[in-house]
Amino acid sequence: MYEKEIIKGFSKLSKEQKVKKVASYFSNPEEVEKELKSFWHPELGKQKLFEEFAENTISNFFFPYGLAPNVIINGKNYMIPMVIEESSVIAAASNSAKFWFTRGGFHTRILSKTKIGQVHFIWAGDHKLLKQHFATLKQLFIEGTNEITKNMRERGGGILAIELIDMRHEIDDYFQIKASFDTIDSMGANFINSCLEEFADILKRYITNTQELKNNSVHIIMSILSNYTPDCLVEAWVECDIKDLEGIDPDMTTDEFVWKFEKAVQVATVDTYRATTHNKGIFNGVDAVVLATGNDFRAVEACGHTYASRDGKYRSLTKVELKNGRFKYSLTIPLALGTVGGLTKLHPLAKFTMELLGDPHAEDLMQIAAVAGLANNFGAIRSLTTKGIQKGHMKMHLLNILNNFAATENEKHAAMEYFKDKKVSFSAVSDFVKEIRK
Ligand code: MEV
């Protein structure tokens, strides 16, 4: 199956040749080739666009693109696009949206919108001199990046602050230039990285050309944005009178439900094992929106999990407040998202997402993604503390199980009818399929 020698020049092969090469590792190369090609887009232009997003493309990997309707955010009704491979996620978001539709919907606010970049360097010299010259350097950084920042400044953003951070307590001679940015509607990675690399060059040139500093040496380690953006923060919440939660579960009183719900969130705040799963459920919704908009879900996840551990322990990103007969459930999450640049307008479906969401600004998208996260999490905690997660989840998963048995449409209909009032499990479905195929 695998080459023993290093494969040279794979990237130089045409897509057709790459497919053939990979297919040759299988015992049925023709079928493999056919399968891979069956996912190529029939329109050449579109296929080319997709394959140029990344390198060594041999096919496309499909994910479902679905919608959660009836999501009220600050009084406005949205249909939220979600790209996700897991059954139940869109259903959970939709159910929560429906539930809160008649209880004031979701509320959101942007807490801050700053992004961070750093030049990490070693200063093998007099640190006092470096500190003395930093005010001049700062001015040079700003002037030297005027060309790069011009458009961003015209849109109201740009460099917000530049600091010298002394990190010698961590690593000998280690300093940082730490800069903060407002990148308006773009995620801003390229903008920030370009500014930082320019800062690094300016720093090096300044040391070489300044008589007083000539005998000191600077070693730039790297210049890169930080995906940790604790100051690019959004809050989403739902709230209502506790009495308006009445009927949330047929087998529980409202007070029982609220008590259990609060305990479940407390558990996710103090127990790291539970917090991870709890936050995973939030990211079910967040990532699905992030993917549908062509944004970078790895950056969003990395940041969210770091933020969840900001006090040294990994905790829930949501919190529940019960005061004066009111139930308030909120999510505070850092989301560095863009609505321009990257794939946001290049990927045809990301472009469609933006249109469907009414061409949102980055701030709007942060709020929409946060709501999707809160909606999913509320749905999960509601199920977990009442009827349990498996009943609903397995119902949604039924089609996947049936597809494992290559069930026909008739068999699927029959199974869905049969399992309406029964517990779905892999073996139960297997028995059912065997039985009707007899
Ligand atoms: C499954 O994808 C997500 C949940 O496990 C989240 C949770 O437990 O809160 C249901």
pLDDT tens by residue, 368-427: 999 999 999 999 999 999 988 887 778 788 989 999 999 999 999 999 999 988 889 999
Per-residue pLDDT reduced to its tens digit, 130-188: 999 999 999 999 999 999 999 999 999 999 999 999 999 999 999 999 999 999 999 99
Residue 5 has pLDDT above 90, yes or no: no
Mean pLDDT (whole number) for 266-290: 98
Mean pLDDT (whole number) for 313-329: 98
Judge if the beta carbon of residue 278 lies within 6 A of ligand 1: yes
For a substitution probing ligand 1, which of 84, 260, 265, 278 has the most ligand atoms within 8 Å of its CB? 278
H or E element that contains 123 = strand 115-124
% of the chain with per-residue pLDDT over 70: 100
Please state the domain extents for the chain: 1-62, 65-109+234-387, 115-225, 393-436
For a substitution probing ligand 1, which of 86, 269, 272, 277 has the most ligand atoms within 8 Å of its CB? 277
Residue 346 has pLDDT above 90, yes or no: yes
296 classed as catalytic: yes
Per-residue pLDDT reduced to its tens digit, 190-244: 999 999 999 999 999 999 999 999 888 899 999 999 999 999 999 999 999 999 9
* Alpha carbons 319 and 339: distance in angstroms, whole number: 28
Q: Specify the pLDDT at position 390.
A: 81
What is the Cβ-side half-sphere exposure of residue 171, based on CA atoms within 13 angstroms?
Answer: 10
The pTM for the full model equals 0.93
Q: Which two tokens stand for residue 420?
A: 């309406």
DSSP assignment of 187-200 equals: --HHHHHHHHHHHH
Task: Name the maximum alpha-carbon separation found in the chain.
Answer: 91
Distance 429 CA to ligand 1 centre (A): 23
Average pLDDT taken over every residue of the chain: 96
* Alpha carbons 8 and 18: distance in angstroms, whole number: 12
Distance 278 CA to ligand 1 centre (A): 6
- At residue 283's C-alpha, the angle toward residues 373 and 183, to 5°, is 80
From 18, 115, 393, 397, active-site residue = 393
* CB burial of residue 401 (10 Å; 0-12, 13-18, 19+): buried
% of the chain with per-residue pLDDT over 90: 92
Q: Specify the pLDDT at position 294.
A: 97
Q: What's the CATH fold of domain 115-225?
A: Alpha-Beta Plaits (3.30.70)
Q: For the CA atoms of 413, 416, 421, 423, what is the dihedral angle to 10 degrees?
A: 140
In Å, how far from its chain's centre is CA 396?
23
CA distance readout (Å), 52 to 45, 59, 364: 11, 11, 29
* Alpha carbons 45 and 292: distance in angstroms, whole number: 21
Judge if the beta carbon of residue 274 lies within 6 A of ligand 1: no
* Alpha carbons 162 and 105: distance in angstroms, whole number: 40
Q: Which residue has the tokens 């949604």?
A: 396
Q: Specify the pLDDT at position 391.
A: 78
In Å, how far from its chain's centre is CA 234?
14
Q: Specify the pLDDT at position 394.
A: 81
CB 300 within 8 A of CB 337: yes
AA identity, residue 187: M
* Alpha carbons 97 and 69: distance in angstroms, whole number: 7
Q: Specify the pLDDT at position 43.
A: 97
Q: Which two tokens stand for residue 36?
A: 């891979």
From 35, 51, 86, 411, active-site residue = 86
Q: What is the CA radius of gyration of the chain?
A: 26
- The sign of the torsion formed by the CA atoms of 253, 257, 263, 264 equals positive
Q: Which residue has the tokens 């009220």?
A: 72
Please give the number of the atom of ligand 1 that sits closest to the Cα of 281: 6
* Alpha carbons 197 and 195: distance in angstroms, whole number: 6
* Alpha carbons 276 and 267: distance in angstroms, whole number: 11
Judge if the beta carbon of residue 389 lies within 6 A of ligand 1: yes
Q: Specify the pLDDT at position 295.
A: 97
Mean pLDDT (whole number) for 316-344: 97
- Strand, helix or coil at 435? helix
Q: Say how many Å lie between the first and final Cα of the chain, rounded.
A: 38
Q: Specify the pLDDT at position 357.
A: 98
Residue 1 has pLDDT above 70, yes or no: no
Residue nearest to atom 9 of ligand 1 (CA): 278
Q: Which two tokens stand for residue 230?
A: 């604790």
Q: Specify the pLDDT at position 340.
A: 95
Distance 83 CA to ligand 1 centre (A): 17
Q: Specify the pLDDT at position 132.
A: 96
Residue 2 has pLDDT above 70, yes or no: no
* Alpha carbons 388 and 382: distance in angstroms, whole number: 8
Alpha helices in 110-178 (DSSP H): 127-144, 146-154
Judge if the beta carbon of residue 284 lies within 6 A of ligand 1: yes
Residue nearest to atom 2 of ligand 1 (CA): 281
Judge if the beta carbon of residue 280 lies within 6 A of ligand 1: yes
- Strand, helix or coil at 181? strand
Order of strands across the sheet that contains 318-323:
107-113, 232-241, 326-334, 318-323
Class of domain 65-109+234-387: alpha beta
256 classed as catalytic: no
